[in-house]
Amino acid sequence: MRRLPPVTYLIIGYMLLAFGWWSVLLLRKNEEAHDAQVELFALQMAVQREIDKPADFRATEAYYDLAESFRRQQNMIIGESVLLVLSLLGGLFLLFKSLRKEISAAEQQRNFLLSITHELKSPLSGIRLILETFQKRRALKPEIQEKLSTNALVETDRLTTLVNDLLLSAKLEQAYQLNEEQIDLGELIHEAADTVAMKYKSANIHVDIEADVGLVRGDRIGLTSVAINLLENAAKYSQPNPVIHTALQRGGKGELVWEVSDNGMGIPGREKRRVFTKFYRIGNEDTRTTKGTGLGLFIVKQLVEKHGGQLELLDNEPQGTIFRVYLPTV
């Protein structure tokens, strides 16, 4: 995230110092006024023969009244100064918080535009190149035709997945309706793991499903999206040799506990909450090498919560990330 300009901190520092200095000056002026008042009262009482000499004034009740009034005024000045400084700091904190939120939203929007442009441009360019090849070279060998057709279908699936994620993320924020049915989650996880393994050939995916783990009631398309997103993220951010473990078992309260762990780069502590934000991706889009739009974990969290479940993000040991999903059983 971009930092505020240094001049901003200089202005804030100047304002705080100014408030402090004005408070000191006001305290000094009040003290000078008190000393002048004490001296005046002492002279008046000496002239009126109420005391023998001005120095005796400090032993009178009038002096104690003046001293008490002076202490109240000093305390009032200090209290108001502290209140003003705290009010200023509180206002600046809220202003900074709002400003940082705006900056973060602007950066997320920029990152999203950059990533979505790349995600759209890359498959479209690939499909265009394949079509141009077919157009210019009509007499291609059957094996080459099959390879090009397969590549075109892969790029088309990539575009379809991107469009579906965009549509799903929009629905999740408004009125997404679950098409509920009884689902064998273990079978669904196996299918998702096979799908991801075909896409990421170097990924070593271990699936451990507890016997007779039970069924869940939920949306098959939604839970499939959760499984594929979690497994794809694990493979994508654990290159070049992803080792992924996914396990499903019953928890202590009867719920299903589903875990996906990897040996990737991990997620810094300060980023753990933000990765579930729509369009948010760790790092800078200008230097990023991994593909994505920042929608995957947002979709996962929203779908898990709509199924009445919970999602946890933990660190793996010695490195990597663990996503743990809790889902109620039928």
What local confidence, expressed as pLDDT, does residue 287 receive? 42
Q: Minimum mean pLDDT among 58-62, 165-169, 172-176, 308-312: which range? A: 172-176
Q: What is the pLDDT of residues 89-114, one digit of tens each?
A: 888 888 888 888 787 777 767 767 77
DSSP class of residue 54?
G
What local confidence, expressed as pLDDT, does residue 3 receive? 63
What local confidence, expressed as pLDDT, does residue 155 receive? 85
What local confidence, expressed as pLDDT, does residue 279 receive? 75
As a whole number, mean pLDDT of residues 119-137 equals 85
* Sign of the C-alpha dihedral computed for residues 16, 22, 25 and 27 taken in this order: negative
- CA distance linking residue 262 with residue 234, whole number of Å: 6
Joined together, the tokens standing for residue 276 give 């579930």
- CA distance linking residue 157 with residue 166, whole number of Å: 14
Which amino acid is located at 8 in the chain? T
Please say if the pLDDT value at position 14 is more than 60. yes
Q: What is the pLDDT of residues 53-73, one digit of tens each?
A: 778 888 888 888 888 988 998
Give Cβ neighbours of residue 250 (< 8 Å, ≥ 6 apart): 210, 213, 214, 256, 257, 329
DSSP class of residue 3?
P
Q: What is the pLDDT of residues 197-254, one digit of tens each?
A: 988 888 999 999 998 887 899 999 899 999 999 999 999 888 888 999 999 999 888 8
| CA dihedral of 133, 116, 231, 326, whole degrees rounded to 10 | -150
Contact by Cβ (8 Å): 227, 189: yes
- CA distance linking residue 101 with residue 107, whole number of Å: 10
DSSP class of residue 55?
G
Joined together, the tokens standing for residue 105 give 């939203």
CA 217 → CA 177, 183, 285, 301, distances in Å?
14, 6, 38, 17
Q: What is the pLDDT of residues 270-327, one digit of tens each?
A: 888 888 887 777 765 444 556 667 788 989 999 999 999 999 999 988 889 999 999 9
Ranked by mean pLDDT, which of 137-146, 167-176, 308-317 comes out on top?
A: 308-317
- CA distance linking residue 223 with residue 307, whole number of Å: 9
Please say if the pLDDT value at position 191 is more than 90. yes
Burial class (CB in 10 A: 0-12, 13-18, 19+), 14: exposed
Burial class (CB in 10 A: 0-12, 13-18, 19+), 63: middle
Determine what percent of the chain is predicted with pLDDT higher than 90. Answer: 24
What local confidence, expressed as pLDDT, does residue 19 receive? 80
Give the H or E element holding residue 283: none
